[in-house]
Amino acid sequence: MKHSHRRPDSTRDIRVAFFLNLGFTLLEIIGGLWTNSMAIFSDALHDLGDSFSLGLSWYLDKYSKKGMDKHYSFGYRRFSLMGAFANGIVIIAGSLVILSEAVPRLLHPESPNAKGMLFFAIAGITINGLAVLRLKGGKSFNVKMVAWHLLEDVLGWSAILIVSIILLFKEIPVLDSILSILITLYVLYNVARNLRKTSAVFLQAVPDDIEIGSIEKKLQMVDGVQSIHHTQIWSLDGEYHVLSTHVVVDENSTKEEVTQIKCEINELTRQLGFEHITVEIEYEYEECRIKKAEPSDD
């Protein structure tokens, strides 16, 4: 795991992506009425959820940069996760509305405006593609989720482009409803998956790209370390990780040796990408003050 920093222009990138997405969403709603396309309506509602998330992310990105205080001793970084949760809830609700409209159209299909669909598909690929590029390289969990949704939009519009071309040459109106349902189900699947990952961060699960055993082995290689135990790792927002561990040293270790061990561990863990590190030194004769929990059978 490589150490990474938040890009200094992340707030600006989210702001630009927000206005691009919101402006196009309004055009999509008008376009959905004009073309009579449920596929465009479904993507418009998805884009509306993305706009909401981007707006909230824009605000929370600035808010999460506040430092620690007496109320939030770790700072405000976890506030950025709220945007991911809010976005997921809005999109799930909107997707259910779309399905309730699209499914009946399978039995009673209505002909959409193929030329209008083609125009909006090209515009959708262009505008959402620009928004994705603005967010490319973002490291926070919230930015990654929004960027993924915008990439889904590009894929969705690509599918609409293909269907609109087919409808220009052959009258198959049911294709619009089928595409709408497929896009919505695909979005629901990925939103549910991302919400699960966000929930894991809230519940302080070990980040997916970290293996505690591997970290402990690297720490035990530090000269003077006898053993490592009670290592805990979690993430503040999917980007900034926290580590605490207990390090056992020889009972005859001097103050200078212990200080050197702590300095080397701090440097090593920062190289591994941890932003906040707590190291408790224990001598061999000491008993750990924290009772180790029994492993679960699950």
Tens-level pLDDT at each residue, the chain (298 residues): 444 444 445 566 677 777 877 887 887 778 777 777 766 776 677 677 667 767 776 776 666 666 666 777 666 667 777 777 776 777 787 778 778 877 887 887 777 778 888 888 898 888 878 877 777 766 566 666 667 667 777 877 787 788 888 888 888 878 777 877 887 788 788 788 878 888 888 888 888 878 888 888 888 888 888 888 888 888 877 777 889 889 898 888 888 888 898 899 888 888 887 878 888 888 887 777 765 544 455 5
Look-up of token digits 């966000």:
198
Residue 5 in domain: no
Examine the domain organization and report whether 198 and 267 are in the same domain: no
Tell me which residue range forms the domain holding 231: 212-283
Residues 95 and 154 in one domain: yes
How many structural domains compose the chain?
A: 2
> What pLDDT was estimated at residue 15?
74
Asked whether residue 147 is assigned to any structural domain, the reply reads yes
Instruction: Indicate the residue type of 158.
Output: S
Do 27 and 157 sit in the same domain of this protein?
Answer: yes
Same domain, 30 and 111: yes
Q: Are residues 80 and 103 in the same domain?
A: yes
Which pLDDT score, from 0 to 100, does residue 182 have? 84
Would you state the pLDDT for residue 295? 47
Q: Is residue 295 part of a domain?
A: no
Q: Which of 204, 200, 77, 84 is nearest to 142 (CA)?
A: 84
Q: What residues have CB less than 8 Å from 283, skipping those under 6 apart?
A: 248, 249, 250, 251, 253
Q: State the Cα–Cα distance between residues 272 and 209, nearest whole angstrom.
A: 11
Contact yes or no for 146/135 (Cβ under 8 A): yes
CA separation for the pair 191, 197 (Å, rounded): 10
Among 157, 175, 202, residue at a domain's last position: 202
At residue 1, the pLDDT reads 46
Assess whether 219 and 137 both reside in one domain.
no
What is the distance between the terminal CA atoms of the chain, rounded to a whole angstrom?
A: 28
pLDDT of residue 10: 58
In a domain, 297, yes or no: no
Instruction: Write down the pLDDT at residue 251.
Output: 85
Residue 5 pLDDT: 43
What CA–CA distance (Å, rounded) separates 77 from 295?
31
Nearest CA to 21 among 131, 184, 142?
131
CATH number at residue 193: 1.20.1510.10
Domain's final residue, options 202, 229, 244: 202
Domain check: are 87 and 166 in the same one? yes
Considering the domain boundaries, does residue 293 fall inside one? Answer: no
Q: 180, 202, 224: which is the final residue of a domain?
A: 202
